Amino acid sequence: MTDPLYTKDIDLDPIRKCRLAILGYGNHGRSHALCLRDSGVRDIRIALRDGSPSRDKAEADGFEVIGLDEAARWADAIALLAADEAHRQIWDQHIAPHRKPGQALILCHGFSIHYGLIEPPADADIILAAAKGPGGAVRQEFEKGKGLIGFWAVHQDASGHARELALAYLAGIGSGEVGIFPTTFREETVSDLFGEQVVLVGGMVALAKASFDRLVAAGVSPRMAYIDCVHEIKYLADLIQARGIAGMYEAISDTAEFGARQIEDAIAGPELRRTFDSAMAAIEDGSFARRWVETYEAGNAMTADRARDRELPVEAAGAELRSRIYGDAK
């Protein structure tokens, strides 16, 4: 395995001397902008669509806000941190027609390059600078003097210095404090999508909903079922993050460990593995990406699904518990 690089190994000048436009000011955009400024990058502008609700926040944070077309004309490098599914529209309508010659493109996920949503010109450095974790966590860890594990890749090196820019960018958002590793656009994309679909989001939510419903059907109160099937997920996740799976088993009760080992193989049986294979096939052949981008561009981005979720009994139980623990938190 490749040894990591750390901040001490990396020259930050390639990003510090760069006129950088950050497109998007959500969790990733805001965290990256604040961290890079604190790391000595002085010429940062935030590029937003007309009427963006993020404008006030960006200006309150002390950044100059410009339009997308202007950013394409002005910047030496663009960090495209808007949602993956919007990249094709942003690139085709705002960046490609106006971009400054030789302008680098920095992405925090490989999605839009791996699936061909963006077709970069020959004069562009195309860089992946992925800090692995939620966007907000980038800033949280940076403020602690730490960072998230970083992965870099170069899809196209027109300048001959794309690697240096990728490493400088990741060091600037704190990843150099914990380690920066090489990857590829394909590897980051496939791993990211598969992990969030079958474990971190899709798998976890499916298990939480189904187990809650089964306990309630057995006569357990919704409050108790929610605590044991949903609320306590964080505690186990924290243990695994800190100690690994083996360390988690050592930390919990012997009864919990024995019971888990009795059913672990049955849960991860042939049917689940077929579901995993199906998810992986859709990721690798591009059908998932095509379906998602078409859904987004048609204006049907899960509004009905979110409304249905809010009406589930598990949500009512969770809202009641959170109000007791956290007050007005939703």
Residue 204 sits in the same domain as residue 303: yes
Residue 147 sits in the same domain as residue 204: no
Residue 151 sits in the same domain as residue 197: no
233-247 pLDDT per residue, tens: 999 999 999 999 999
Q: Are 327 and 320 in contact (CB under 8 A)?
A: no
Instruction: Please count the helices (runs of H) and the strands (runs of E) in the chain.
Output: 17, 8
Count Cβ atoms below 10 Å from residue 175 Cβ, excluding itself: 33
**The CATH number of the domain where 131 resides is what?**
3.40.50.720
CA dist., res. 184 & res. 191, Å (int):
11
Q: Classify strands 20-23 and 77-80 as parallel, antiparallel or unpaired.
A: parallel
- Nearest CA to 95 among 163, 32, 21, 14? 21
Structure tokens at 183: 């990857």
Assess whether pLDDT exceeds 60 at residue 329.
no
Structural domains of the chain, count: 2
Question: Among residues 125, 149, 183, which one ends one of the domains?
Answer: 183
What pTM did the predictor assign? 0.92
* Torsion-angle region of 101 (φ positive above 0: left; ψ -120 to 50: alpha; else: beta): beta
What's the rounded mean pLDDT across residues 160-182? Answer: 98
Q: Are 180 and 5 in contact (CB under 8 A)?
A: yes
Residue 267 sits in the same domain as residue 318: yes
Q: Is residue 188 part of a domain?
A: no
232-285 pLDDT per residue, tens: 999 999 999 999 999 999 999 999 999 999 999 999 999 999 999 999 999 999
Residues of the domain holding 136:
7-183
Residue 176 sits in the same domain as residue 307: no
- Nearest CA to 87 among 289, 305, 302? 289
Count Cβ atoms below 10 Å from residue 18 Cβ, excluding itself: 22
CA dist., res. 314 & res. 305, Å (int):
15
Assess whether pLDDT exceeds 60 at residue 330.
no
DSSP lists the bridge partners of residue 163 as none
Question: Among residues 145, 161, 183, which one ends one of the domains?
Answer: 183
Q: How confident is the model at residue 193 (pLDDT cuts 50, 70, 90)?
A: very high
Residue 213 sits in the same domain as residue 156: no
10-58 pLDDT per residue, tens: 999 999 999 999 999 999 999 999 999 999 999 999 999 999 999 999 9
The whole-chain average pLDDT of the chain stands at 95
28, 32, 87, 109: which is the annotated catalytic residue?
Answer: 109
Task: Mark whether 114 is an active-site residue.
Answer: no
95 CB burial (10 A radius; 0-12, 13-18, 19+): buried
Residue 69 sits in the same domain as residue 176: yes
What's the rounded mean pLDDT across residues 202-228? Answer: 97
- Nearest CA to 128 among 81, 87, 76, 95? 81
Structure tokens at 122: 């020959």
Question: Among residues 151, 183, 215, which one ends one of the domains?
Answer: 183
